[in-house]
Amino acid sequence: MSTTATQEDVEKVAAVEHPSYEIVSKDVVTEYGAYCTIYRHKKTGAEILSVHNDDDNKVFGITFRTPPTDSTGVPHILEHSVLCGSRKYRTKEPFVQLLQGSLQTFLNAFTYPDRTCYVLASQNEKDFKNLINVYTDAVFHPRATSDPAVHAQEGWHLELEDKEQPLTYKGVVYNEMKGVYSSPDSRLYRQSQRSIFPSNTYSVDSGGDPKVIPNLSFEDFQQFHAKFYHPANSRIFFWGDDDVKQRLDLMDEYLCEFDESPESKPASVVEWQKKTITEPKWETHLYPVGDDQPETNMVMVNWLLNERPFTPTEDLIVGVLDHLLMGNGQSVLYKTLMESGLGSAITGGGLSDELLQATFSVGLKGVQSENAKKVEELVIKTLEKVLEEGFSDEEIASSMNTIEFRLREFNTGSYPKGLSFMLGAMSKWIYDRKPTDALKFEEPLAELKAMIAENGDAVFRDFLKEYLVNNMHRVTLELAPSKSLESEELKEEQDRLAAIKSSLSDDELDEVIKKTVELKALQASEDSPEDRATIPSLELADLKRDVTEYPIEVSDNESDSGVTVVRHELASTSGIAYVNFAVDTSGVDYNDIALLPIFTRIMTETGAGEYTDVQLSQRIGTHTGGVGVSLMKTSVNPDSVPSYAIYEGNNMISKLSIRGKATSDKTGELFSIFKLILTEAKIDSKKKVVEMLKETKSRIESSIQGSGHSYANTRIKARYSVGGFLDEKMGGISYLSTVNELIKQAETDWDSVLKRLENIRSAILNNATCRSGMILDITGDKAVMDAIKPSVEEFLKSLPGDANGEKLQDFYNTEHPWATKAKEEMASIAPLKDEGFVVPTQVSYVGKGGLLFEEGEKVHGSSAVVSRYLRTGYLWDHVRVIGGAYGGFCTFNPMGGDGVFTFLSYRDPNLDKTIDVYDATADVLLKAAEELENDPEALATAIIGAVGDLDGALSPDQKGNKSFNRWLLRQTPEERQQFRDEILNTKASDFKDFALRLKNMKKTSVSVVSSKAAFESAAKAGKVMELKQVF
């Protein structure tokens, strides 16, 4: 297309004239084929960034600048609250109705330290407009500003049901933030932000400090909305292939009701934090630890980088410098800290540049108190050494290619591309700068390359010197352990509530009880049919009836190599080949499989062949878009059992999956790296392996406190199937004990650990059988596939193993070698009993599950509709809305699997009451089934939501991966279509059938992650569990 034609296209399609708007600017981000027009609404001053392109995954966002002045969490509470009903959409929670019955590919809102974003996406145009209407009415006309019950529910309220009981605080955000503050990492990051921004809005917590949240009055809440949620203070974003004029018309319907508000924008300006700290500071704070947890410290060094906006080229320089220092485990600062032995894991991710001013943070956790100062000294000395010695050409080339590949690929995974574009643009636009400056990289990249060509690494050393080494606006934070802090904070809250209660008269206590009853009654009440009718919805006729299939071509024993090659030729992958090389692991001794997660890291992080760890990392970075290794394990059904039927799980496929991506001209390098790390990875580095194990231990401990629901879920599923048990053994809560044992063994008897690692590689590369278990899976467009043929041929020839060797067992029809041993261990390691796992936390993660389907039974597609209906309906209402947890949901694999159904809660203030909610589910669902018989619209809504889950937008590599997994599971197109048809044809009677199964769920058991105090309280209520102290 010529330049003239492109300009004409922009004028015609992307920059339409509209009487209600003036065009501020037109721009083309050619890097992403995005035609951008900024409009200003004449009446209100609202700004709209309209991006037109050929992406059918359309995105809408509306963002307000919302700088708080205290830590009551008012922006966060407001973000939750505005989605609880509005002027036009009158149900209690339109957001939930949208989740229940939309084809949305993204629907969420998030609170930053200085802004609040409401974002949605859909590939269906009718759905897209419905969602926009609900969100826009919500932010401008929310029920929350006139109904204190919303503030009470989503923010905080005093709860009391009986005068003899103690007062309690409840509220969704209140409990969410109690969970956040239970995480030592979250405490560290929040305190670091406060410390380096002592005098602007970033010195307070926009999410809310649980100790401060109860200070937020309803009047302050109302005023915050009135002040900041005016169109003049909004940035509105559109992305996709929809009609631009219709976008503008739709927004004008809402904006035209408002007048100008000249004070709105100036009132929300985020002030620059001056570098007022002239001598580096040291602060010490506490974090809670358990009785059995090692008393180690966390240390993080923090800098405020800039006092003025960076130019686009400076942004890129700082980004590359960050990658040079912290980009991966072999980057100089990251590597030096990890190899120092001063701590167990890195804390602080280096550069953070999404706010007005960039920061840089790095440190270690698992630090002995006497070594705390040494961590700071090492960080400073390392940076000074880098400043003196500089960066090598190889380091710079690797980091530059890694970042350039990422920019050009623009692979946003499961997130809509438009969302990533919007968030990038907003990093400038929200501060009244040009939004497209954040997305255009060709010019800054060319400028930086020219600067490097002329000045070499001085480009980066100059920045290192100015913004880190010579920058005295630096605060080092130390978090010291306290075994009494958890109980002290609990007592502080109880004392505060007791003081409040004692200050209230009998009449005032009666009023609290009355409000508690009223709020619960409101939360439990059903929306009226009239109110539900206000929510726009799709119809079943709007749904796509057919399953989307993706290309696949399978070549067994390609070129007599003994290797199976699977290809997915897509229309376009932008010249990139996505490759997954799978190698069988069934020969690995069962007693060694707990080492496989570490073995996968060793393959890319310790060096290989003639390459040191740094050299290998540089080679990967210089020639590819990245290489990673993971363990792939999936249960499969025998030929005699349909793919959607329940099977015992003894049959499975286990592979070591080496994944990478490269442009077609670099695929030879990619394959060479694959072979190198598979055959010559340096597995004999004791120091590295011990580091990895300690880092793994630290990660698991942090994850259990922050994501306890996932560990509870894994633990429950471990009791019912071999596959679930192996997931627990290699990554669940019991894996923490295994890692601790491995650390001890590696430190005291390294030779035995090394022998086990050698045995793993020998088993994987067994000369007689390894070729039989190898699969080369490639996704690319036709040009890529044609270009890489010679590289594929050469790779297949070079692989280890005998091309005419023995065939591995038929894993579809014979038991996997690991299954026999796993079954022997299950009863002792994952017993069928109710268990409680004790950790330092202010919230609970409550799980309960059992067998919903038994072996041999086929799962009907309607189960996907029913389980989703529960997740977004009853469980949302009773665990989250009424119970005050941040999340309540259920999990079930409707495509067969193990037949296990689990209930879960997230950051839950309750424990025993949540289990009661779970136990009542079957009866509630039976009643719902009766109601659905006479409510076809509600049934259709449930079906639409389930179909939406099937049809998310996928990136090219995700399409290839989905096609590969379907092939691996031996699902046929006919089976997939039947499953979809069953979803589309779901009846009310299917809900009844599911409810009866729930009522008779077999072998139920409980798994909970919580505090000792919560378990003691639950036991008094009759919910007794076998307790295990995790740390």
Token pair 């630090």 is at which residue?
367
Structural tokens at position 190: 């929040």
Q: Please, which residues bridge with residue 1 across strands?
A: none
Distance (Å, rounded) from C-alpha 632 to C-alpha 655? 5
* Backbone dihedral angles phi then psi of residue 2, each to the nearest 5 degrees: -75, 165
* Backbone dihedral angles phi then psi of residue 599, each to the nearest 5 degrees: -60, -40
Buried b (16+ CB within 10 A) or exposed e, 167-190: bbbbbbbbbbbbbbbbbbbbbbbb
Residue 248 · residue 17 · CB < 8 Å: no
Distance (Å, rounded) from C-alpha 533 to C-alpha 944? 16
CA atoms within 13 A on the CB side of 117: 23
Q: In 423-486, which ranges are E strands?
A: 474-482
Distance (Å, rounded) from C-alpha 927 to C-alpha 996? 11
Residue 738 · residue 598 · CB < 8 Å: no
Q: Please, which residues bridge with residue 476 across strands?
A: 282, 301
Residue 574 · residue 408 · CB < 8 Å: yes
Catalytic residues: 79, 154
Q: Give a three-class secondary structure readout of 960-1005.
A: HHHHHHHHHCCCCHHHHHHHHHHHHCCCHHHHHHHHHHHHCCEEEE
Nearest alpha carbon to residue 250 among 363, 115, 131, 346: 131
Token pair 């005295």 is at which residue?
472
Structural tokens at position 51: 């991006």
Nearest alpha carbon to residue 459 among 471, 468, 450, 469: 450
Distance (Å, rounded) from C-alpha 203 to C-alpha 675? 50
Residue 960 · residue 550 · CB < 8 Å: yes
3-state secondary structure of 80: helix
Residue 713 · residue 703 · CB < 8 Å: no
Length of the chain equals 1031
Distance (Å, rounded) from C-alpha 813 to C-alpha 579? 28
Query: Which ranges constitute the DSSP H helices of 157-310?
Result: 172-182, 184-196, 218-228, 244-255, 264-267
Structural tokens at position 59: 């995105």
Q: In 244-399, which ranges are E strands?
A: 281-288, 297-304, 345-352, 359-367
Distance (Å, rounded) from C-alpha 260 to C-alpha 41? 10
* Backbone dihedral angles phi then psi of residue 474, each to the nearest 5 degrees: -135, 135
Give 897's contacts (C-beta < 8 A, 6+ positions apart). Answer: 635, 646, 859
Distance (Å, rounded) from C-alpha 704 to C-alpha 838? 10
3-state secondary structure of 934: coil
> What's the CA angle centered on 590, arms 766 and 600, to 5 degrees?
65
Token pair 């799709």 is at which residue?
538
Structural tokens at position 816: 């996997």
Residue 188 · residue 479 · CB < 8 Å: yes
Distance (Å, rounded) from C-alpha 747 to C-alpha 272? 49
Distance (Å, rounded) from C-alpha 714 to C-alpha 731? 9
Distance (Å, rounded) from C-alpha 776 to C-alpha 657? 10
Which conformational region is residue 878 in: left (phi greater than 0), alpha (psi within -120 to 50 degrees), or beta? alpha
